[in-house]
Structure 1
Amino acid sequence: MRLFDKIEEVASSRKRRKQVQEIASSPHKIPKLALPNTSSVQISPRGTPMRFRVRPRLHRTPSLDVNPIKVRQQMEEKARNIKREITVVKKPPVGLRNLAISPEQLGFVARKQEAVEDEFYRKGLPRLVQVKGRRRILVRQVPLDFGMLNDTDVFILDTGGEILYQWNGRKANRIVRGKGLDFVKNLKDKDFGGTKTIKVLDHGKNDYPEPGFWKFIKRNPEDEVAKGEDEEMGNELISSILAMTVLYKVNEIEEVFIPEKIATHPFTKSLLKEDCCYILDTINEIFLWCGKKSTPKLRRGATSLAKDLKAERKTWTAHIVRELPESETLLFRERFMDWGYGPTIAVQQIASNTSSAPSPKIDIKKLISNLPKLAPDPVADDGKQDPKIWRIEEFAKIEMKPENYGEFFSGESYIVLYKYPWKNKFAAQIYFWQGRNSSTTDKGTAALITRDINTALQNDGRIASIKDVRTLQNLETPHFMKVFSEFYVIHQGKE
């Protein structure tokens, strides 16, 4: 071989080796493939197409028999019919048809309520409670309507918000006013935990400017409050309502729930058993009470019976109230004669160990002789002068009429000014009498006003001696008793 040919062969081998190295170091190119024009094709990481399947699309044509516009109109018409108010003709229950009292007086007005409303009471719903009577007090829920107001009763409005209103009729007596105030205070403390505010409105004084009250009791400008019944008619009305108040016990017989009448008014708390369910029917109120140990099946049956009882009523009926044991509402507890506002107090009888031997005779004269003798009266006066008396009321003194002198109340404080001749001039005794049940405010006000009277008398040159005397009930001084020697009576409570 010639030298030139050998050199050319070596050069060509080096060139091929270099080309192989370049190919090995360069990345592989993905070959271009002709794929179908669809988005469902997936490419593998290596660049090769995967198997694909195009899902067929179903085309549904609307039916020509159904018009969607008419269907929508029919649905809207049904919704309007459901929300429309249902007015039922006035018709009293069977037990009221033979009474001399009209159903309207018992509170049976035409029921106007939506058919879709909730049948059970829940906190936050407004309600109106009536308090009526004198000898017998009746507390019941009535329709939230201006026509229920009258001038002889007291009404409690629970707005469902932060305010409880007490509306007093113009002719409401002191007993029903006090019962209404007691009820609304316990309603605030027991049912709402003291979180609400009480506002007292008097008919014809400060009630009409109150917008929060008349927002719920809708009143037209020409409307006037109706006149209430007289005392005899009111007592007959209360007796009729209480006579038709019934307590039912729910019994299960062969998987059928049957109400059993067990008692009429008055009721006692001992009638309620822990393993039973009861329905209290008060004509226009229905209460459902289930004991702690009652079965869920019995509770469901009692709930169904309460709903049926409310549905059968042709007159206005309040929401059904579910009562929880040991957390009963105030309106429910009012129906039981031995159910107070607080926890019950058990009275235990203690056996007496006294012997049957006759007791020794007591010498009364000997007991009286051992009493300490009273100190002589420092006031040299017979108490025959005319006093002047004021009664304390709201940080002020109100002068009493002379015909009421000698009558004191244990819940009040009084100031008695007595002047009598002394050393060619006059002396003054200023008694500030404090009742046993008088408030701290009244006692303090009496002391301050006594000091003011003393200051005013010091400027009078005719008064030579002035003395302030604090007098407690049942601890009066001898001279004080001389002033009221002819007539002295202490009444219980406030005037």
Structure 2
Amino acid sequence: MSLHRKDTDSAFEGAGSKAGLEIWCIENLRLVPVPKSSHGKFYTGNAYIVLKTVLPKTGPAQHDIHYWLGNDTNKVDSAFASDKALELDAALGSCTVQYRELQGLETGKFLSYFKPCIIPVEGLYSSHQGHLNGEAYKFSLLTCKGDHVVHIKEVPFSRSSLNHNDVFILDTASKIFLFSGCNSSIQERAKALEVVQYIKENNHGGKCEVATIEDGKFVGDSDVGEFWSLFGGFAPIPRDSPSSVQKQSDTSSVKLLWITTQGKLCQTGTDSLNKKILETDKCYMLDCGAEIFVWMGRQTLISERKTSISATEDFLRTQGRSTGTHLTFLTEGLESNIFRSYFDNWPQKVEPKLYEEGREKVAAIFKQQGYEVKELPEEDCEPFINCRGTLKVWRVNGDELSLLPVPEQTKFYSGDCYVVQFTYPGNERDENLFYTWIGRSSVMEDRRDAISHMNAIVDSTKGDPVLAQAVEDKEPVQFFLIFQTFIIFKGGMSKRYKKFIAEKGITDETYDGIKTALFRVQGTSPQNMQAIEVDLVSSSLNSSYCYILQTETFIFTWIGSLSLTRDHDLLDRMLELINPTLQPISAREGSEPDIFWNALGGKAEYPKAKEMKQCIEDPHLFTLNTTEGDFKVKEIYNFTQDDLTTEDVLVLDCHREIYVWIGCHSNVGSKQQALTLGLKFLEMDVLIEGLSLETPIYIVTEGHEPPFFTRFFEWDPSKANMHGNSFERKLAILKGKPHNLEVPTRNSWKAYSRETTPDGLRSKSVISNGLGRSGSPASSVSGSNSKSSANQLFSSPTPIVRKLFSGSPHGIFIR
């Protein structure tokens, strides 16, 4: 079987087998491959097909197809591009998402492939064109809009083209001028400097001067005088008239239309949208105002899909819709997060059959052609930091913290809360990592005090440590790696826990080393192994694990039929830690003696199917904007370290944990506020992946990024040692100035969180770590007693806090 079939263009042979970009230009109604040296150079008279292939660490290849239409592209080429995009989708097993990209109105995802920008070229592409020489250098005036991806548009070379809101680049034969409108953002100006650098390297061979012009600055700068002389002398720029901002459509105006095989649009006649409406043998159009999706069922023919696309384009024309309306084409089973968000209760997991049909088909094709098709690798459990650092663990015990002796600091109780400090050698200094660990059966007061106590310790610690919260059963891998060996017992040692169960008449099940107990053993290596005490019943068993069953007189090791050899080694090691005195009796699944089942209260059903490992997708980066009380999230595609702009707060969503990164010049005043933003992000669940409010949250500050964060980037340490705002930093690089200047020491977390008492003394600071909050996200509490301060923080919990602490009516989590 070959990827090239009768109905597939030969230009697509082998397409999508390697990660990266593949681009074809439509020339004389045929597909011409565009060499890598010309990627990002688009001619206004042509249409292009762009295929982006991502090969994630786990899971199948991901493909996005974009067809780009220049402003001067004729209708025949436009239709041809649309058809070829569908043809390529079919060749890849109908497992792609397709986007229509119009010149000047491209999606952020498309622009992210071509950093720093796309500057369309007038005319037509020719695969045989030569270089033009002897022509005078053409002046051009460009507008730059955007902070992480930038839209470039050439405007008439006239003073009237300038305004106070945008950033402009004037490209002349000997000098490039950057003009920043007084109302433009620092991030936009910084991004425009990247475009200036791009123009300098590509249009001038790196040899030309660069001048920056500030809007409103007219005196004492020769560059300013030269800039305005090119426009015939200075004259004031008129004030901008209020622009008519197009309101975004809300879900109430979203319409779902069925597209018939004849190309007619029929409304579904339902107000609420549910996935069950979408039938696998039909195509639908979801009209969201500024964006339109075409959903194509798995059992639809290519001819029907072509009809649905042309019907949608006709709809846009006849309705007089904005040329900026984005068109996205989705195949059943590959719906984007945005599309799914318009439907009520979209199932979290896509049906495996729908997803794997095309994947298996394509894998078979690639194998036959000699390409390597990898199986899912083991999850990455590399520590990334030196795990031989110093560990300190405190248990919350009433109003106090009890420092645990070293032999006991890897043994936690589900009814307790703990504060963990891990100090490890970093680059030129020791680094600190703090966790609050919340047991599922712990009482509310202990949870509050854990947060209060952790922040009191952090406040007395030098540097800017990383903070994190971890709830039992939701711990991040990094947490286990610093402990290496970790045991969770039932019950609790806290005074409050003991008091609570006594008052409620609950039997104290706290493990004492003697009573009967069942432990599940898990982990990946001797540096990452855990034993978790589970309910003493047969249904707690699972064929994928190994277990230790201890009674007063004997101890069993139980080996599940689906467990690995590695698990058996961990079982032996854990046995030495839990009870090294009794001689173990080994029992393999299916050959257990009656005494084994009697200890568990009798034989019962338990999970025997292979535990399927969930594919962990690559991380996603988002900007968080909280202007005027609105919480807005925007994804940054194909992110790099340069996207960590010092004015921003960003969230790196790694699915099993999230990192809130705080720039030194951001408007976030405390780590309390940062954690509140992290919880708000979890509540929104932007990727529609079922994130729990108990997902671990790390708070990372600029200049103090730990290796387990920087591993997601191609990290250049010198970029983390620069000062100034984004624009000043980029300008220093552009002008070749040394940029190994350190970030100003930011102890402002403490400055923001402290209050001055009437006698002028500094009081203790209490920064909520997100498990409990005051009513205001950035509020700080003063007081000599950290416990009472923590109670103030919890006096008016937000809805997010209530959700996170939902459990029994008594404020205790029940397993």
TM-score by length of 1: 0.33
The structure having more radius of gyration, on CA atoms, is 1
TM-score by length of 2: 0.22
